[in-house]
Structure 1
Amino acid sequence: MARLGDVCEILNGYAFKSANYTDKGVRIIRISNVQKGYIEDNTPAFYPFDDINVAKYELFEGDLLLSLTGNVGRVGRLDKKFLPAALNQRVACIRIKDNTALDKSFLFDLLNSDSFEQKCILSSKGVAQKNLSTEWLKDYKIPLPPLDEQREIAAVLDKVSDLIAKRRQQLNKLDELVKSRFIEMFGDMLLNTKRWNEKPLESMADIVSGITKGRKIKGQSMIKVPYMAVSNVKDGYIDWTTVKTIEATEQEIEQYRLLPDDVLMTEGGDPDKLGRGAIIKELLENCIHQNHIFRVRLNESVILPGFFAEYLKHQKSKRYFIGCAKQTTGIASINMRQLKALPVLLPPLALQKQFSAFVAQTDKSKLAIQKSLEKLEILKKALMQKYFG
């Protein structure tokens, strides 16, 4: 075993001011860019090349970056495509001191284990927003097997990770196909180039929040049922990899029971994922949802789930949510009132049906890929558990 601080440099970022962001220059890597296992940048921010702090906090290809606030313990590896880049506050950079003692791929896999992430969460301070200390990181002890063994472990996990990446690329291509078809049929949603009527979401849907964990119930019999958590609701699909259960009364089950074609939407998360939603189609018996998820049950004589779920991915809705969301460091959230007021463009139902039929055909191709992806992710979790506990 070795202290992470003994085998790695652990660097804190700088508080680059958003008021000084530019359209080009050095990319600022923020908390929202650090996802579990990768770095993404859908809403890039840049700083002038000649700023003195850009050079002091310069990042390099392959740097391991870790989120210290909000969704703490997420680790990504910086790709060359993001350079030149600099490290923002509340993101830690982890650099190996001696490559003959510690393999970077092995360390990256270890830090991406569920075990490490959970320890980060448990060791964080704060109630409304978690904060992790780099001093805790330095003291964290990691296994240090012989270098050859580290490389063998990393090679096995890399093969599975590569297959997972290929499946995700296949899904992304199908998503892009659907997106192109949507624009072709309905035009630019932001500009409303086809001049569709606009109405608030509450005029065409029943919207409710879900069950609260930890609430106090006295003198009533409870039934254990499956429930949808924020982690299950992805951008455009439901992740069934891990479904948790909760005890609820019969009245609560009736109140929160999900039905086919309900659209589930998250109330908060990374700013660029705000308002993400997915249609729930296949249901577990008596499946309900937690309070950090909104259930949107549409009036299908006015708007179809297939159209609405894709609408949420486009700039008209995304900009609305970003504009009205409450934002803290790296985290944004919306409330029920704001969701109900979401402006929705309404093309003719016949056109929506055409689009939904196209989506249904595409979903058949996605289903086989998604099942393969889920099996690979379960395999990777099992391997991570075997190697890292």
Structure 2
Amino acid sequence: MTPSVKLKPYITQVRGIAYKPDEIADTPFENSVPLLKANNITDDGLDSSSLIYIAADKIKSEQFIRAGDLLLAASSGSKKAIGKNAHFPESFSGSFGAFCKVVRPKNGLHSDYLKHFFKTRYYRSSIEKAVQGANINNLRNEHLDDLEISLPPLNDQIRIAHLLGKVEGLIVQRKQHLQHLDDLLKSVFLEMFGDPARNEKGWPINPLVIYMSEQPNNGLYKPQSSYGSGMKIIRIDSFYDGIVQNIEELKRVEVTDAELLKFEIRPFDVLVNRVNSIEYLGKIGVVPAIAEPMVYESNMMRFRLNHEAMLPVFLMYFWRTPYLKSQINSKAKKAVNQASVNQQDVTGLLVPQPPIDLQKQFSTIVEKVETLKSRYQQSLADLEALYGALSQRAFRGELDLSRVPMSL
């Protein structure tokens, strides 16, 4: 087993650039370079869709991103966001803002090996524990310096990175397959029903309430002391513009008979988030088949559709269109850090009504694609479990590397 060492002697930490609002622009200008921010760092790597630009002469030489660097979110109001990172296999002709930092490996620490270390549960839990209790979470140098890492010889680091990289590549492929299937269903929806904003197929358009068998009802509020046992309760993190997920992981709450009668969930019920940040306000969740009674919490509303007029799967895909989202945004009541919609806002949303037979055809297509997606999702879960197990053994120094090739 390879002994662990403190990370400090093997990394250089570089803090990002502090800038004034008048020093940056949303588009490139003469002698400018892109400046990355914490929101450009995602779980799947770097998102370069919302870059800002700054004059190159504002950047010190060590603040330019080099091949092998890892860019970390160093300050954030979210403990989940702090420490998230992106690896740069090649140099990047730009820099990064003050809420980020670069970690630059040295002294025999291979950058690909460090990249995978920064994906371990040990790293994630250590960072979250280090910033616990702070309102604004700051990743200080000592938080990284004090991390312990198993440091085998360089060739073994390369072998470990090669092995983990192979599994990581398969994970990326599975995610791409799932994204392609999602894109396929979006295309099928538009092909069958057209763009609802233009309504080129001439479907009747009515307020959503016309298609309801039961109008919206806000959910159940229970104090924290009521949680722990009882019935499962659907909470706001259980869905995002789609089917309610992870039913088996729902929390439980004590519910009276009268509360169950009023707030009980049934398959194909439609849930709408009524209070959230403007980005997530109005997200929809359709309840799948469920094996036991359950209820839903107070920051959402539930309604039921007349399935002879409109199917939940059609409404779910319609709900994802810019046409619907713009309606929700126009009805939103905005406050500090959040917004809300009420029952009247939801019942008044304008929704086209294609023939029910066409909706049923679409539902059949969705069912077939979802069956295929479930296989990919299981494969993805298996690969992620494999990556986690290999990573854990690798960074404990427990992997047999004799049959793992070295790839530079």
Q: Out of 87, 100, 109, which is 2:96 matched to?
A: 87
Contact 1:275 1:312 in 2 (8 A): no
Residue 88 to residue 76, structure 1, CA distance change in 2 (3 Å):
same
- Aligned-partner Cα distance in 2 for 1:352–1:289: 27
1:97 corresponding residue in structure 2 = 105
Q: Secondary structure at the match of 1:223?
A: strand
2:380 corresponding residue in structure 1 = 373
Q: Out of 6, 11, 17, which is 1:7 matched to?
A: 11
Give per-residue Cα distances to partners, 1:197-249, cap 9 Å, x unaligned: 656667756556666786134xxx97355555555535645554982543433
Q: Secondary structure at the match of 2:374?
A: helix
Give per-residue Cα distances to partners, 1:167-223, cap 9 Å, x unaligned: 111111111111112222333344555565656667756556666786134xxx973
The answer to whether 1:172 aligns with 2:183 is no
- Aligned-partner Cα distance in 1 for 2:302–2:395: 37
Q: Secondary structure at the match of 1:306?
A: helix
- Aligned-partner Cα distance in 1 for 2:91–2:291: 41
2:158 corresponding residue in structure 1 = 151
Contact 1:74 1:117 in 2 (8 A): yes
Contact 1:27 1:45 in 2 (8 A): no
Q: Secondary structure at the match of 2:195?
A: coil
Residue 105 to residue 362, structure 1, CA distance change in 2 (3 Å):
same
- Matching residue's letter, 2:12: C
Give per-residue Cα distances to partners, 1:53-77, cap 9 Å, x unaligned: 4777544565423333123235242
1:114 corresponding residue in structure 2 = 121
Structure 2 residues without counterparts, runs of 5 or longer: 397-408
Contact 2:243 2:288 in 1 (8 A): no
- Aligned-partner Cα distance in 2 for 1:108–1:270: 34
1:246 corresponding residue in structure 2 = 252
- Aligned-partner Cα distance in 1 for 2:335–2:165: 36
Q: Out of 37, 40, 45, which is 2:50 matched to?
A: 45
- Aligned-partner Cα distance in 2 for 1:360–1:374: 21
- Which stretch of the first structure deviates more once superposed, 165-174 or 226-235? 226-235
Give per-residue Cα distances to partners, 1:109-161, cap 9 Å, x unaligned: 2222334333333433668x652333453444131321344334333332222
The answer to whether 1:134 aligns with 2:143 is no
Q: Secondary structure at the match of 1:216?
A: helix
Shift of residue 5, structure 1, vs aligned partner: 7.8
Contact 2:72 2:86 in 1 (8 A): no
- Aligned-partner Cα distance in 1 for 2:35–2:303: 36
- Aligned-partner Cα distance in 1 for 2:116–2:348: 40
- Aligned-partner Cα distance in 1 for 2:145–2:261: 48
Q: Secondary structure at the match of 1:116?
A: helix
Q: Secondary structure at the match of 1:249?
A: coil
The answer to whether 1:160 aligns with 2:167 is yes
- Aligned-partner Cα distance in 2 for 1:249–1:368: 36
Q: Out of 352, 357, 366, which is 1:346 matched to?
A: 352
Shift of residue 85, structure 1, vs aligned partner: 4.8
Shift of residue 344, structure 1, vs aligned partner: 4.3
The answer to whether 1:72 aligns with 2:77 is no
Contact 1:223 1:250 in 2 (8 A): no
- Which stretch of the first structure deviates more once superposed, 226-235 or 140-149? 226-235
- TM value normalised by structure 2: 0.71
Contact 1:12 1:134 in 2 (8 A): no
Instruction: Decide which structure has the larger Cα Rg and report it.
Output: 2
Q: State the aligned residue count.
A: 377
Shift of residue 9, structure 1, vs aligned partner: 1.5
Residue 55 to residue 9, structure 1, CA distance change in 2 (3 Å):
closer
Shift of residue 13, structure 1, vs aligned partner: 4.8
- TM value normalised by structure 1: 0.74
Q: Out of 360, 365, 389, which is 1:358 matched to?
A: 365
Q: Out of 340, 348, 358, which is 1:335 matched to?
A: 340
Residue 213 to residue 40, structure 1, CA distance change in 2 (3 Å):
farther
Q: How does 1:302-317 map to 2 (within 5 A)?
A: 302-317=309-324
- Matching residue's letter, 2:15: L
- Aligned-partner Cα distance in 2 for 1:303–1:256: 22
- Matching residue's letter, 1:131: N
- Aligned-partner Cα distance in 2 for 1:9–1:287: 49
Residue 294 to residue 95, structure 1, CA distance change in 2 (3 Å):
farther
Structure 1 residues without counterparts, runs of 5 or longer: none
